[in-house]
Structure 1
Amino acid sequence: MTAGSTAERAFAEAVAALVGADPQLAGLVAEHGRPDYWSRPPGFATLVLLVLEQQVSLASAAATYRSMLRHQGGMTPRHVLANDDMRGDGVSRQKQRYLLALATAVETGALDLDGLAALDDDAARAALTALPGIGRWTADVYLLACLHRPDLWPVGDRALQVATAETLGLAQVPSAAELEVHGERWRPYRSTAARLLWHGYLRRRGRDAMPVPVL
């Protein structure tokens, strides 16, 4: 059985457990259905895309990624380090600094991307967030979507904050610290809870519930 199929099977089991235990999530699935299990390939290219997605729309980040790819001819650390025109691709000065730091760390071995799979969640997050421009949101989404970790809870994600408020009927959108507390009810399946909440958030707004397929 492949890693992908194993993760999909675990996801289906987690959905069943959450729906059976939580009326709010059960109602969410009844209204919007169970989302498809989406993932992203682990590695440097996905981290580049995640950095580009910070504080912009997925479509905008995808356009920038495609422009970089056309200009560079590939998406490896060496391609990025050789790209002296990221601003022309639509990359901000700040994100250019982040991408150069990421490429340097991977190229020199300071960040062992392949080795992250052998680390627990906290250690893997610490290795990623040691780099400039990679905060908890970026690290958690990488662990959730690329390494299939079952109990990630990206508390800094605004859509997840809003979705939790809508699903639980909260009077206010929770802060990151408050979302951490709300997430405790869904351990040890918080990654699946996040997927269900994101799915409902997007469906309520008439939007596609799958990431932009650029990788």
Structure 2
Amino acid sequence: MLSDIELRECYFSRQKTSYVRDLAEFVFSKRIILGDLASKSDQMIREDLITVKGIGNWTVDIFLIMALHRADIFPLGDLAAVKSLKKIKKLPVDTSNDKILSVSKSWRPFRSIATMLLWHSYIQENNIKF
């Protein structure tokens, strides 16, 4: 296992170091079995992962999209996706989460793909370089 110093050299904050250690403890103690997650429903995965300190809905959403390739996830907590959606749909800045979810429902069952397009739009609009 990496030391705190080694994790800081990988740009982990103290807080993130604590979170990754908590996740490791869940995996080592088999409270979460990573190999079993792919066969579970999105909701079951969310319920399992959200119990780990530092993992919230956004983290679960991104894990579902990027690691498990789930096709129908809209990460409501993702600032870039939400900002891009508001701009494209010409929605006011203070649009409620319920309204945003309502708009995203029209993209079922491919909301993850729509999210990737929203991210691309956000990157282009803001001239972000990697």
TM-score normalized with structure 1 length:
0.56
Greater RCO, 1 or 2 (C-alpha within 8 Å, sep 6+): 1
1:183 and 2:104 are equivalent in the alignment: yes
Structure 1 206/84 Cα, relative in aligned 2: closer, same or farther at 3 Å? closer
Counting only pairs closer than 5 Å after superposition, residues 91-106 of structure 1 correspond to structure 2 as: 91-106=12-27
Pick one of 76, 82, 87 that aligns with 1:155: 76
**Higher alpha-carbon Rg:** 1
State the match for 2:52 in structure 1: 131
Structure 1, unaligned stretches of length 5 or more?
1-78
Q: Is the 8 A contact 2:73 2:112 kept in 1?
A: yes
Number of aligned residue pairs: give it: 129
1:115 and 2:115 are equivalent in the alignment: no
1:205 and 2:123 are equivalent in the alignment: no
Q: CA deviation at 1:183?
A: 1.0
Q: Is the 8 A contact 1:163 1:198 kept in 2?
A: yes
Structure 1 Cα separation of the partners of residues 76 and 92 of structure 2: 18
State the match for 1:166 in structure 2: 87
Structure 2, unaligned stretches of length 5 or more?
none
Structure 2 Cα separation of the partners of residues 143 and 171 of structure 1: 28
Structure 1 Cα separation of the partners of residues 104 and 60 of structure 2: 18
Would you tell me which structure has more helix in proportion to its own residues?
1
Structure 1 Cα separation of the partners of residues 4 and 63 of structure 2: 26
Q: Is the 8 A contact 1:161 1:173 kept in 2?
A: no
Q: CA deviation at 1:172?
A: 1.6
TM-score normalized with structure 2 length:
0.89
Q: CA deviation at 1:89?
A: 4.5
State the match for 2:67 in structure 1: 146
State the match for 2:4 in structure 1: 84
Point out the more displaced range, 139-148 or 84-93: 84-93
Q: CA deviation at 1:88?
A: 5.3
Ranges of 4+ aligned residues in structure 1 off by more than 4 Å: none
